A and B are shown apart, each in its own frame.
Chain A
């Protein structure tokens, strides 16, 4: 834990992002390069287990975890930013979050294919509504400063409610929604709608001074309108690259069997991942034909605070692991 990392002193971030071991970085051990010293991406299992973690891909992790292993075979690794860019990370402080929940209202959301707990069929909209309610209520219970907003996505995006710290206010808009046939997905429009409503913090020293809040977009998305046509404006690019902005996605797809066009769901999924230039966002894929449990569990994982959660590939929630002593002591 005390060994200084080569190259860390100059503060430059490599593919595996190294963070200073400040008081607010208890898991400094997490950011180690692989033992070969190569600047490998996060797809390679880190040989030094990060504090308390298991090697990725083990056991209980749901299939929706670590999706990059499958996607990477086909496409170039998507989380690696161009090496010239510096990606500084904010300290791991639980500052208030402004969470913008973006709910796709395309008709795929109301297909009755998801298998609920009792075996009956339900639809993604139904489950999403319940899980969004669980999400905002739980976040509010954890910290009353968190704020929420609701955006619905049809052909265009519309800001329905927020920001509010009262979960009931958001939930009151949540249940009267209907799906409809959508032609296309306009990601630029969604980002513009968001841009108009937020102002990201500008901090003098990103790595040591915690921001007053962070903004997180949580997109629940299910349509299959092909690859994302995306030509971001400068403002949108700047927003996506800010260390205080996160774009989390839950992508509900029809599964691998249906490959009607050139683009399979994996390509769509990969293009979402490309939005994540910092490697810090969470991106899940869930099958619309599978158990609803998967969708529930994804939303639960999205509860994690973006500044304090591990990299998605490192995340592990299992309680059924062996009881061994942690390799390193964490410092907070």
Chain B
């Protein structure tokens, strides 16, 4: 997408996403001519000419409006629950004599296995009771089995959910169709079958088997898996900070096979924004490379375990920090200045030693107690020569992650007593009153 196109875009959301760098070019859709930049899990990405839900709804024929409504307003069909369905190319099959709004056909963009499917959905404004026709983009071979489409067999234009449900059923069929195409590569078929047998993954997969490259005869595929990691015990305060609408908390693993023999395999992890934030930011997305000669049924559980460990660390860290602060309040409670009563990430104490008042700021890291808290000592009387508060940071003082909170508080007190005299001396020697 050209930058100048974006700048003229009337959709502030897409401009903002671009500027925050959330659009990642490597996910550009290869089947789409316009090189749509796709970033699932980070809110809506509007293509230049895609319509906002309100505009689409205002132009569609009134009888069809309820059906479209449930699709555009938070209709989600696939694994990637944070990406919305988009509408483009809204057209009408009526003559120009028919007064608007009377649009009855459009393209629906569906995120699937890291791609975007573009299906034409064609109603007839003059006969709104009838179910629509579908054109499945360039997948001319895709011929869904009508008997597997209950919402087609008992189509009820009066039920607003009907179209959305039908699209879901079609998508399931499409998934089967793609899996069939894996037969062109026994290696990839093996990967698929072995995952299918495992109840942890078998039911939450989306497969896209790309077109064979007519030059090289090479075949490629992408597997998108929803990872069965339990995020439910992550402390709530870590999750509510994100400004983006995360939808469901989910971890998706996308694995691209660039060749049929699985020698070029590129895995990538996607986390809902709030989960990514809770696990420490973009470093949470680091996963091991796919081992050469390895297979998904071994690799995927590894990634799950890695994520689960991170979640455990974060949960444990929260409880440990809480215990630490409780212990410090026990030992120093009458001199507490402030402490973080939500995430327990920091605490400031006011202490006195021989009439000399000083502050201790304690910062507790995300992966406490593995990572040691930082202590910052501050004199209340002194500034530095450049006018800043006079303070000194201590990162390595006697510490063991195996001590409980009580022990840490006791040892900290002992450390303060040993350190303060020299801190005071330094303050009076180097600080400005």
Contacts and interface: CB of A to CB of B under 8 A. Distances in A.
A72 B339 CA distance: 33
Contacts of A329: 326-327, 330
B359 A300 contact: yes
Interface string A127-152: 00011011001100111000000000
B3 interface: no
Of B335, B359, B433, the most chain A CB neighbours within 10 A belong to B335
Contacts of B428: 117
Given A116-B433, A308-B341, A331 B331 contact: no
A316 B351 CA distance: 8
B353 interface: yes
Interface SS of B by simple majority: mixed
Interface SS of A by simple majority: loop
Nearest to B329: A330
A26 interface: yes
B416 A319 contact: yes
Contacts of A24: 341
A317 B326 contact: no
Interface string A290-332: 0001001101110111001110001111111001001011111
Contact of B352 (A26, A130, A319): A319
Contacts of A52: 329-334
B336 interface: yes
A316 B334 contact: yes
A54 interface: yes
B380 A304 contact: no
Nearest to B344: A332
Contacts of B357: 296-297, 300, 317
A228 interface: no
Contact of B380 (A94, A116, A296): A296
A332 B326 CA distance: 6
A156 B342 CA distance: 41
A331 B325 CA distance: 9
B433 to A, nearest CB: 6
Contact of A316 (B335, B354, B380): B335
Of B332, B334, B348, B433, the most chain A CB neighbours within 10 A belong to B334
B337 interface: yes
Contact of B410 (A117, A138, A323): A323
A27 B389 contact: no
A50 B352 contact: no
B67 to A, nearest CB: 41
A169 interface: no
Interface in B288-303: none
A319 B433 contact: no
Contacts of A206: none
A50 B333 contact: yes
Contacts of A62: 355
Given A138-B378, A300-B350, A332-B341, A319 B413 contact: yes
Contacts of B148: none
Contacts of A26: 325-326, 329, 333
B322 interface: yes
Contacts of B334: 50, 52-54, 310, 314-317
Interface string A15-36: 0000000001011000000000
Closest 5 CB pairs of A and B: A52-B333, A317-B335, A326-B330, A316-B334, A317-B352
Interface of A: 24, 26-27, 50-54, 60, 62, 91-94, 116-117, 130-131, 133-134, 137-138, 141-143, 293, 296-297, 299-301, 303-305, 308-310, 314-320, 323, 326, 328-332
17 contacts: A52-B330, A94-B340, A134-B380, A134-B381, A296-B381, A299-B380, A308-B336, A308-B338, A310-B334, A310-B336, A317-B334, A317-B335, A319-B413, A319-B416, A319-B417, A326-B331, A328-B330
Interface of B: 322, 325-327, 329-342, 344, 346, 348, 350-355, 357, 359, 361, 378, 380-381, 383, 388-389, 410, 413-414, 416-417, 420, 428, 433
Given A117-B428, A300-B350, A328-B330, 16 more contacts: A27-B329, A94-B340, A116-B433, A130-B433, A138-B389, A142-B337, A297-B352, A297-B380, A303-B337, A304-B350, A308-B339, A309-B336, A317-B351, A319-B417, A320-B354, A332-B341
